[in-house]
Structure formats: structure tokens, C-alpha cells
Chains A and B, each alone.
Chain A
């Protein structure tokens, strides 16, 4: 059981480039989430999904897109990268919504220069 996996671990992007952060979970969880953590700040929710084919915006969705074609995968797409998107990105999954524990991946550290 790998849990939640994220690739890549690190990435440097130039301003205006695009990329996709990959997230996969093998726990058959319906709920998946993308967060970003800026230095000295808490995690902020970007997008979330309650099942395959269903996604919705979180607190800071601008500049990002997501898709959920399978239960296992929840990729996060950055279009036209900007320095403000320099952050550590965490993907998480949960068996159910509400107060149930979210399992986090190890994170992707992204730098946009």
C-alpha cells in the first residue's frame, strides 16, 4: 500500500511555462484534495474532488485546473506559471468527507523563476 504518491518531488519552472503535478492514491478513496503551503503559512485548499468526474474549487483556485477521470488519480495543472505559484503542493485523500482523516502525500516543491 503506497498511500498517496506525488510526482515530481521538485520542479523549477520558468514564468509562463505549464506543467502537471501528478497525484495518485491506492486506498480507493473517493475524496481527494490539493493544497499549497507557502513559507510560514498554513495549507490552503486549491481544488477538491468528491469522486471521479466531480471537482470543485477551494480557497485559492486561480491559475490552476484539475480533472478526476479515475478514482485513483487527481492531477493538478498549472497554466502560465507565475512567481506567486512558488510553493509546496500537497495532495491528500480521504475515505469520506467531513471529519475523516485526510492522508497526505509527501509534497511537490515548485519554484517559478
Chain B
């Protein structure tokens, strides 16, 4: 029972273009959603979050969109930079910060 799915294992984009990472979920009880970025041999680092009552949250180059009716969220990175190359995980959260993560999408940004 995979409550959070990231169906694209990898994404390759050119520097300066937009990166769109997608995430689908099945658990309607999630109160919020978060995106984390992970470099090799490091722990994940927090990127951006969105409450389940919002449909958009923006932080600099990063914007997360939430479509509750479709149970879908996406992370937009504009413009993409080579330093953005990493694995991106989306997660849904409930009480006490209990997070359920997707499998991750490897983003590669080419110079």
C-alpha cells in the first residue's frame, strides 16, 4: 500500500529551464506535504512545504502546487541550476510529524 508515489524515477533538464517533479498520493488524511532534497551520502534536507488547505506555496525558485481533487502535487524549480541535481522526495504528513515518503525522483540539470 503505497500512499505516496513518485512515478518518474528520473528527470533530466537543461540549466535555466523549468523542472517539474510530480507526486501522487492516496491518503486523504494528510494534513500537509513536504519536499526534501537529498545529495549522495547525506541526509535529506527540507525544501518546501504546503498545507492541505492551500493550493500553492512559493519560496524563491521553488513552487509547490497541490491539487486535492486529483490527489496530486508538483514541485516547480525555475530556473533550474546544476546544483539542483539531487534526489527529490515528496512526503505527506499527519500528526506528530509522521511522514510518508515517495520513492524519490533523480533530477539531473545539465549545464
Which residues of the partner chain B approach A41 to less than 8 Å between Cβ atoms?
103-104
Task: Please state if B103 and A40 are interface contacts (CB–CB under 8 Å).
Answer: yes
Distance in Å: Cβ of A101 to nearest Cβ of chain B: 4
Q: Rank and list the top 7 A-B pairs by shortest CB-CB distance, nearest first.
A: A104-B43, A42-B101, A99-B32, A101-B46, A97-B97, A97-B96, A43-B101
Which bracket fits the contact residues of A? 20 to 34
Task: Please state if B99 and A98 are interface contacts (CB–CB under 8 Å).
Answer: no
Task: Please state if A59 and B100 are interface contacts (CB–CB under 8 Å).
Answer: yes
Which residues of the partner chain A approach B36 to less than 8 Å between Cβ atoms?
104
Query: Which one, A14-22, A44-52, A78-86, is touching chain B?
Result: A44-52
Does B34 count as interface, using CB distance less than 8 angstroms? yes
Which residues of the partner chain B approach A105 to less than 8 Å between Cβ atoms?
43
User: How far apart are the CA atoms of A31 and B43 in the complex, in Å?
Assistant: 17
CB-CB contacts below 8 Å: A85-113 with B: 90, 92, 94, 96-107
Distance in Å: Cβ of A92 to nearest Cβ of chain B: 7
* Count of chain B residues near A, Cβ 8 A: 28
Which residues of the partner chain A approach B31 to less than 8 Å between Cβ atoms?
98-99
Does A33 count as interface, using CB distance less than 8 angstroms? yes
Task: A42-B102, A44-B101, A48-B97 are known; give 13 further A-B pairs, CB within 8 A.
Answer: A40-B9, A40-B103, A42-B89, A42-B104, A48-B96, A59-B100, A90-B44, A99-B34, A101-B46, A102-B99, A103-B46, A104-B45, A107-B42
